Amino acid sequence: MSDKSQPADGPFFALPGHRVLTFQGRDAIAFSQAQFMNDVAALDAGQWQWNGWLTPKGRVIALFALLRRDEETLWLLLPDADPETLAARLRGFLFRSKVTITARDDLQVSGQFAHPVTAADSAAGNPESNGITLAADDAIELDMGGEGASRQLRISLATDADVDETAASRWQLADLEHGLPRLDDSQVEQWTPQQLSLERLRGFSIRKGCYPGQEIVARTHFLGKAKRGLALLEADAPVTVGADVIAADATLGRIVASASTGDRHVALAVLPLEHAASALSVDGQPVREASLKDGLAR
């Protein structure tokens, strides 16, 4: 964990959809390793990774950043999922595990379009970019920078971050451009990690051992059965989540997330990995495929 922090340009703004769930206790690591799709045990204290929780059928319940604070403490940063609902479901699997799961309503999550300490490493895919930076006021900061977007995220007890809806929308749009699906309730338990192309974020493990949905994930990987993946689409107007993507009068895929700011409108869709080049539309509106940006893997 780094204790370096540097001045940044512009104020932090609130990310109201982001919430924090904490795991505390001697079995926190073991419990999370058994439940979540990425290799929690591979993290050192002061590091973080993309991770998620799956159904037994391998469908994504929630995506999150998992922070290992110390040997008995994990924080889950939830961009979309409700922490109380997720905590209640997870507690059903605790049995005798010595873990306390708490939704931390006292913590505020905020963002800033600025160049944090590790942003240069992040753009190069340096694994050190998954370090947690400890700021002077005991806040923690994560490098969320990627290709073409310097960003840092802060978790703190402070409650004075600016409310800036435009900046928050830009943040979500940048998430989508880098291939981080922002799943609303309608898209929960609909997609496998491969269909969401979460390998781009190094968001799941196929070798760490058993976890809910692991058999589906591993079989898809080793048998080469992944036929669909994530695609970035651009449009001239907002795109509806859950809408069909149409090509040549037939359904090609579905919209899983969308974001807009000003005159920019983007969406993530699950489409066949191989499909003929043709005009695409959503709800009668033409859309264009674009390249996903790199640099958000951790």
Cα–Cα distance, 88 to 83 (Å, whole number) = 8
Nearest to 257 by CA among 151, 180, 157, 152: 180
Q: Residues within the annotated binding site?
A: 141
Instruction: Count Cβ atoms within 10 A of the Cβ of residue 72 and give its class: 0-12 exposed, 13-18 middle, 19 or more buried.
Output: middle
78 in Cβ contact with 160 (< 8 Å): no
Q: Given strand 133-134, what is the order of strands in its sheet?
A: 13-14, 108-112, 152-156, 140-143, 133-134
Q: Residues within the annotated binding site for substrate?
A: 141
The neighbour count for residue 157, using CB atoms within 10 Å, is 11
Measured over the CA atoms of residue 290, residue 292, residue 293 and residue 294, the dihedral's sign is: negative
Cα–Cα distance, 210 to 164 (Å, whole number) = 42
Tokens describing residue 126: 């340096």
